[in-house]
Amino acid sequence: MSSVSWRPRPRVVDAAVIGCGIVGLSTAFQLQRRGLSCLLIDPRGPAGDASHGNAGAVSVGNLMPASDPAMAWPALRGLRDPLAPFKLDAGAWPHYAAWLWRFLRAGQPPRIAAIVDATHALNHAARAAWLDLAGAIGALDLISPTGYLHVYSQDASFERAAIARTQMQRHGVAFDVLDGAQLRELEPGLAPFARHGVLQRDSLFVQEPGEFCRRLFNWLCARGTDTLIASARVIEREGEGYRVGTSGGDVHADQVVVAAGAWSGELLRSFGLRLPVAAARGYHAMYPRQEGVVRRPTLWAERYMVVSPMRSGVRVTGFKEMTAPGRPARPGLIRGLAPQARQLFPALAGEPVSDWAGLRPCTPDSLPILDRVEGERIFIATGHGHLGLTQGPISGELTARSMMGEGSPVPLAPYRLARFGGAARA
């Protein structure tokens, strides 16, 4: 007697969205608004990586690319300093060596102005997109209009950042320059060595980024979005649409969005693409919840360390470690940096109760990739680097508009994959 093994019926949807970070979730939200059926695919569920562990700042005034020489060269010179903000994972060198060369080239002065303009175009639209999304899902209680504070302990670093202030002024970004006394009026808990400050007034604070993503995920599920907690392994053409092969079975979709962060590139190699996206690991440590220490996300510029008053505790984020997916994290980095938060805010009490590490997808020019694979109905939304939280909702809207053939309120040419030329071909 023969037997036939039972297999679940393949799922069929209008759009498969690979990635449950803020970019993928925002894209699904916009597609659902437009009446499309969606399936979210992610091995860790909502906010399983950088969308959970960031500092919570919707930093509309952060316009300078990471390759700006005023930031990049001091970071490279400080590689041997255990508290320096930039790290290289030596074992992952083949993964990011070519990327690092393109990164340094992107910092040439003739290129920076165009990068700043393109960054501002997204950031300028980000605040309204965030408030619209939070209002729609009933999560405005997680958003605070605190602004984003940068503080400087050295005159020299404040002066080097003058170009960033000039660019904010040129683009009409609202900000205040503060002296030491004004800083402590704004943030009474700051240490006296904080000499200069810049407050980006229109920046928002997401008090729990991971919780926001989970609320958005649940909101989508309650309104018909399907989910698959599995790893996407391959995308293949199938008839008029696509088969997405996952560790949890096959998905069949008319369109596919690849918003898988640092893992996006592997999914597109079969289409002849090599995304110039490197994995940069960020870290955070959590102190116990306590009132009166810090009121808003506050960046210590010289350490590139942000102290944020999350609902669940005081979060200290730091480091950008060039690495590769699958490489082990080095939690000792953040454990060594975390005590520095008490130097900046002396009232901070207790010891860190947890730490975290996650990967950011970074392009050489610090601009995301928002594009369509040529000749396909496959859309790319990745490469946001340290501005993923800021630009997530607006990137989701722009991606959905492209999929639906709608006009874009932001010109998309600066975010096309073609800007990398042959470097983007496998």
The whole-angstrom separation of Cα 68 and Cα 198 is 19
Which residue do the tokens 């965030």 mark?
130
The whole-angstrom separation of Cα 150 and Cα 299 is 5
At 84 the pLDDT is 79
* Interval 292-330: pLDDT, tens: 999 999 999 999 999 999 999 999 999 899 999 999 999
CA distances from 271 to 6, 67, 96 (A): 32, 29, 21
Map residue 244 onto helix, strand or coil: strand
Backbone phi and psi for residue 180, each to the nearest 5 degrees, phi listed first: -60, -45
Map residue 108 onto helix, strand or coil: coil
Spatial contact of 133 and 216, defined as CB atoms under 8 Å apart: yes
The whole-angstrom separation of Cα 66 and Cα 322 is 13
Q: Where are the beta strands (DSSP E) in 59-212?
A: 86-88, 143-144, 148-152, 175-179, 196-200, 204-206
The long-range contacts involving 216-223, CB below 8 angstroms and separated by at least 24 positions, are 216/25, 216/26, 216/29, 216/46, 216/133, 216/137, 216/139, 217/20, 217/25, 217/40, 217/45, 217/46, 217/47, 219/29, 219/137, 219/138, 220/25, 220/28, 220/29, 220/32, 220/38, 220/40, 223/32
Spatial contact of 331 and 318, defined as CB atoms under 8 Å apart: no
The whole-angstrom separation of Cα 397 and Cα 243 is 24
Which residue do the tokens 């209009």 mark?
145
Ranges in the chain, pLDDT < 50: 1-8
Q: Is the pTM of this model over 0.85?
A: yes
At 1 the pLDDT is 34
At 426 the pLDDT is 60
Q: Where are the beta strands (DSSP E) in 145-238?
A: 148-152, 175-179, 196-200, 204-206, 226-228, 232-238
At 424 the pLDDT is 72
The whole-angstrom separation of Cα 256 and Cα 237 is 11
At 422 the pLDDT is 66
Task: Retrieve residue 32's tokens.
Answer: 């659902």
Kind of pairing between the strands at 354-362 and 278-287: antiparallel
> With left for phi above 0 and alpha for psi between -120 and 50, is residue 8 left, alpha or beta?
beta
Backbone phi and psi for residue 289, each to the nearest 5 degrees, phi listed first: -65, 135
At 5 the pLDDT is 41
Q: What are 89's strand-pairing partners?
A: none
Which residue segments constitute the domains of the chain, with CATH numbers given? 11-424 (3.50.50.60)
The whole-angstrom separation of Cα 273 and Cα 276 is 9
At 388 the pLDDT is 97
